[in-house]
Structure 1
Amino acid sequence: MHLVHGSYLQDWMSRPDDTNWRTAPESGGSSRTFADIGVHWCDLAEFTTGHRIRRLLATTSVVHPQRGGVTVETEDAAVLVFETDRGATGSVVASQVSPGRKNRLWLSVDSSDAAYVFDQELPDTLWIGGREENRVLHRGTTTQSAGAAPYSTVPPGHPQGYLDSFAAFVKDAYTAFTDETPDGLPTLDDGLRAAALTRAVLESSAKETWVEVTS
């Protein structure tokens, strides 16, 4: 794998009269868009590839400086490029001001012979791109791995997605109490990682330079 890239786009803050408690740092912290959704993209990218973002260069933007008569101090969008600890490069756009996009988490992992693309708004499919042909794998078919099969809980053709992931998390958490911990169960270290990435993004944007991710 040599390239990982994508975006996480929402539109619920695209208009100047849209407001939320997250716009105030004292309520929601110093970062809004990246801390709210960008970290989830990074977590997915690191989990699926096994790579860790080693350093990054980020820029953030405030599209509407005033919302409801209050000065906005947290970012509406964040764009970053990064390098991983295993030699890949990547990029991601996180935005809460992209009209028409509700929760478009899109991830592409590219290697020499194939690219693998996941789109959260089409959660039952995995797109695989090749030099000669492209394929779309559907959840619940014989092509899914033994590790994925237990998470396919409804028959093919019945939509499965976001809410089902919470049920899977609860199931894995109960399993961890009584048996071996399932692979991929989130820990406090994952929360710390999200905080470290957010800190690096804010520092890089402020200093306009590359920043090492320390956690």
Structure 2
Amino acid sequence: MPDMPQTSLGVALIGTGFMGKCHAMAWNNVATVFGGARPRLEILCDADAGQAEAFAAQFGFDRAMTDWRAAVADPRVDVVSITTPNGLHRAMADAALEAGKHVWLEKPMALTLSDAEAMAGLALARPDQRTLLGYNYLRNPSFRAAQAMIARGEIGDLRSFRGVHDEDYSADPALPWSWRMTHEGGGLGALGDLGCHLVSQMLALMGPVAELTAMTQIAIPERPSPEGMRRVENEDSALALLRFGSGAQGSFATSRVARGRKCRLQWEVHGSDGTIVFDQENMNELWVHRAGEPGFTRHLSGPEQPGFAAFCPAPGHNFGFNEQKVIEARDLCAAISGAAPAGPDFAAGLEIERIIHAMAASGGQPVSLGDAT
């Protein structure tokens, strides 16, 4: 387990939504769970002054403000958590990096591929500043166990990957239009909200993608708004076929309009000697088949897996979504303290962005990912 910093880090958190609360809980709990110096919660920033004040008081931040530029420039701040709408990601991350801060940014990295390239370039020019993107599902002990099984060769040579990330938060056609459904405010649709999570896991399990063919769909082309019906600009769903640099093949699907699905981040990896199956809706278990066995064996999360024991010493006691964010905060703090860089950083995040933007642009035609082979 990486060493935690012994010097307290000053934190600024921008945003008070779902992920803002996740980051606030992670910053409050990271030293409690993993030791080291407790972060100093310096600034809570939100566009709504009342909301900023209330959130700062609730989570123990020293100050509340509405000016995010002042927050990232503050000399008492060492690391900036950015949990704002997608359209603000680049401006805030760039400003934080230029101010000499470390950055923890929620996905997707940016609205456009060119923005992501610029952000990765800016981070590369500042090697002493750490960046981390919020792909928290990579911190699940079950996922880490699957990675370890594959690395040890327990299922042999990798042959194929099948992955799905479906939810139904946009399935109701009466759901009002929002910024999430525009290129200017949201960027990509299901690919940027959900599919990027599946890509992050796919790359970690299978290695780089060499080529893909994809198609997207806008299932509900218009949404109601106070001004009348407004057009949906980005995709509700996407499907892709892939070839990895190793020669293995893959299939990929994501949808924000899949009725009944809440967080079906499901994948299976087929190897020459076995298969591993995972589903985020049952995030504390893996199903593993090995050649010669009659079927699959259920593997429960437990303290033998990295990260789990820091929260609970007993097997079968479930790990959760917010614990993943605490591990993410731990990895970032350790990287700032001198451990190996946490991932995905902005360089690795750019590879995820290249894949999802290639899927969006494919239109059913093959797209080469260049250096992957």
What TM-score does the superposition give when structure 1 sets the normalisation length? 0.89
Q: Is the 8 A contact 2:269 2:276 kept in 1?
A: yes
1:167 corresponds to which of 321, 326, 329: 326
CA distance in 2 between counterparts of 1:186 and 1:33 reads: 20
Q: What does residue 193 of structure 1 align with? A: 351
Matches for 1:141-180 after TM superposition, within 5 Å: 144=304, 148-152=305-309, 153-154=311-312, 155-180=314-339
Q: Secondary structure at the match of 1:3?
A: strand
Per the TM alignment, residue 48 of structure 1 is displaced from its structure 2 partner at its CA by 2.4
Deviates more, 1:148-157 or 1:105-114: 148-157
Query: Which structure carries more relative contact order (alpha carbon 8 Å, separation 6+)?
Result: 1
Q: Secondary structure at the match of 1:150?
A: coil
Query: Does residue 75 of the first structure (1) align with residue 235 of the second (2)?
Result: yes
Q: What does residue 197 of structure 2 align with? A: 40
Q: Secondary structure at the match of 1:198?
A: helix
CA distance in 2 between counterparts of 1:213 and 1:101 reads: 31
CA distance in 2 between counterparts of 1:181 and 1:104 reads: 31
Q: What does residue 134 of structure 1 align with? A: 296
Q: Is the 8 A contact 1:21 1:28 kept in 2?
A: yes
Per the TM alignment, residue 118 of structure 1 is displaced from its structure 2 partner at its CA by 1.2
Gaps of at least 5 residues in structure 2 are: 1-157
Q: What one-letter code is carried by the residue in structure 1 that aligns with 2:167?
A: Q
Per the TM alignment, residue 214 of structure 1 is displaced from its structure 2 partner at its CA by 4.3
Q: What does residue 216 of structure 2 align with? A: 60
Q: What does residue 100 of structure 1 align with? A: 260
CA distance in 1 between counterparts of 2:323 and 2:266 reads: 19
What is the aligned residue count? Answer: 205
CA distance in 2 between counterparts of 1:86 and 1:137 reads: 27
Identity over aligned pairs, percent: 27
Q: What one-letter code is carried by the residue in structure 2 that aligns with 1:134?
A: F
Deviates more, 1:170-179 or 1:69-78: 170-179
1:87 corresponds to which of 247, 255, 274: 247
For 1:29-77, what per-residue CA distance to the aligned partner results, in whole angstroms no more than 9, with x for missing partners?
Answer: 1x2111211111011011123x111110001001111111111111100
More helix, by proportion: 2
Query: Does residue 119 of the first structure (1) align with residue 279 of the second (2)?
Result: yes
Q: Secondary structure at the match of 1:174?
A: helix
More strand, by proportion: 1
Per the TM alignment, residue 187 of structure 1 is displaced from its structure 2 partner at its CA by 0.7
Per the TM alignment, residue 202 of structure 1 is displaced from its structure 2 partner at its CA by 1.7
Q: Is the 8 A contact 1:103 1:121 kept in 2?
A: yes
CA distance in 1 between counterparts of 2:308 and 2:208 reads: 25
Query: Does residue 210 of the first structure (1) align with residue 366 of the second (2)?
Result: yes
Gaps of at least 5 residues in structure 1 are: none
Q: What does residue 21 of structure 1 align with? A: 179
CA 1:88 to 1:44, structure 2 compared with 1: closer, same or farther past 3 Å?
Answer: same
Q: Is the 8 A contact 1:151 1:168 kept in 2?
A: no
Q: Is the 8 A contact 2:212 2:366 kept in 1?
A: yes
CA distance in 2 between counterparts of 1:188 and 1:204 reads: 24
Provide the aligned C-alpha RMSD in A: 1.7
Deviating 4+ runs (over 4 angstroms): none
CA distance in 2 between counterparts of 1:105 and 1:164 reads: 17
What TM-score does the superposition give when structure 2 sets the normalisation length? 0.52
Q: Is the 8 A contact 1:35 1:194 kept in 2?
A: no
Q: What one-letter code is carried by the residue in structure 1 that aligns with 2:164?
A: S
Per the TM alignment, residue 104 of structure 1 is displaced from its structure 2 partner at its CA by 0.8
Per the TM alignment, residue 198 of structure 1 is displaced from its structure 2 partner at its CA by 2.2
Q: Secondary structure at the match of 1:99?
A: coil
Q: What one-letter code is carried by the residue in structure 2 that aligns with 1:93?
A: A
CA distance in 2 between counterparts of 1:178 and 1:111 reads: 38
Q: Is the 8 A contact 2:302 2:317 kept in 1?
A: no
Q: Is the 8 A contact 1:58 1:79 kept in 2?
A: yes
Structure with bigger gyration radius: 2
